[in-house]
Amino acid sequence: MHELSIACSLVEVAAQAAQQHGATRVTRVHLKLGVLSGVDADALRFSYDVAAQGTLLEGSQLEIDVLPAVISCHQCGASCVLPTIQDFRCPACGAPSHHLLQGREIEIAHIEIEVDSVEEQATIS
């Protein structure tokens, strides 16, 4: 279950960023997760709760935005969302394409923190 090690890393990164912004608590972590990342979102949510115990993130919510696979077609130049990850062909012209623009991400988009009981939002790049 590699989701637990990913969750531990997410908690570590988010806790460090929160501390740098003077947070007393993290309330929410927003994650971008590509459909081709190899990570099961439900397993990650469960693992996140386990990894967050005893940290600034304990009790926080993990919100996951699952991103579709997007390719760039070398044949027609279109950038398209793949209707299925089983077939890497351009939906516009049918040409095979292997140039992936989006879909492998595991990225913290932003975190929401409390500073002296006032909720703020901090962006992590």
Question: 55 and 36 share a domain?
Answer: yes
Rounded to 5°, the CA angle 110-113-60 comes to 85
What's the rounded mean pLDDT across residues 76-96?
A: 93
- Round to whole Å and give the CA distance between 20 and 12: 12
Confidence at 115, pLDDT banded by 50, 70, 90: confident
Q: Provide the domain limits for residue 90.
A: 69-102
Residues 78 and 98 in one domain: yes
Instruction: Dump pLDDT digits (tens) for 3-15.
Output: 999 999 999 999 9
Statement: residue 118 has pLDDT above 80 = no
Q: Same structural domain for residues 75 and 17? A: no
Q: What percent of the chain shows pLDDT beyond 90?
A: 82
Report the mean per-residue pLDDT for the chain.
91
pLDDT band at 68 (very low <50, low <70, confident <90, very high): very high
Q: Mind giving me the DSSP string for the chain?
A: -HHHHHHHHHHHHHHHHHHHTT-SEEEEEEEEEETTS---HHHHHHHHHHHHTTSTTTT-EEEEEEEPPEEE-TTT--EEE-S-TT--B-TTT--B--EEEES--EEEEEEEEEETTEEEEEE--
The CB density around residue 112, as the number of other CB atoms within 10 Å, is 19
Could you tell me if 43 and 81 lie in one domain?
no
Largest pairwise CA distance in the chain: 56
CATH of the domain at 35: 3.30.2320.50
Q: What is the pLDDT of residue 116?
A: 77
**Is the domain of 7 the same as that of 35?**
yes
Count how many domains the chain has.
2
Our measurement of the distance from residue 80's CA atom to the centroid of its chain's CA atoms, rounded to an integer in Å, reads: 21
pLDDT at residue 78 in the model = 93
Q: Would residue 125 count as lying in a domain?
A: no
Confidence of residue 82 (pLDDT cuts 50, 70, 90): very high
